[in-house]
Amino acid sequence: MDLVSLTEKIVKSLVVDEESVSVKEFETDDDTMLIQVLVSEDDMGRVIGKSGRTANALRTLVQASSSLKDNRYVKIDIDKF
């Protein structure tokens, strides 16, 4: 499973409105992968979590998966529509 589909699957399991989830991958200059997650405004609290704990856990899981495959740094940006 690639990192974008892993991120999308985790985020969709957290939100109420799964249809509004958009996950895209962007390449940066320095061998870093940027994953942009867009969710509805109502679901932002569920994805970020209290004090950012859910978002940090998501970043940890995706980074751990990246270290098993291609060992690239992954940055996840979470935003609303």
pLDDT at 1 over 80: no
Q: Map residue 40 onto helix, strand or coil.
A: coil
Radius of gyration of the chain (CA): 12
User: Could you tell me which of 64, 79, 74 has the C-alpha nearest to residue 11?
Assistant: 79
Domains in the chain, CATH or no CATH each: 3-80 (3.30.300.20)
Q: Report, as an integer, the average pLDDT of 53-76.
A: 94
DSSP 8-state class, residue 28:
-
Instruction: Taking residues 43-50, report their average pLDDT.
Output: 96
In this model, does residue 13 exceed pLDDT 90? yes
pLDDT band at 3 (very low <50, low <70, confident <90, very high): very high
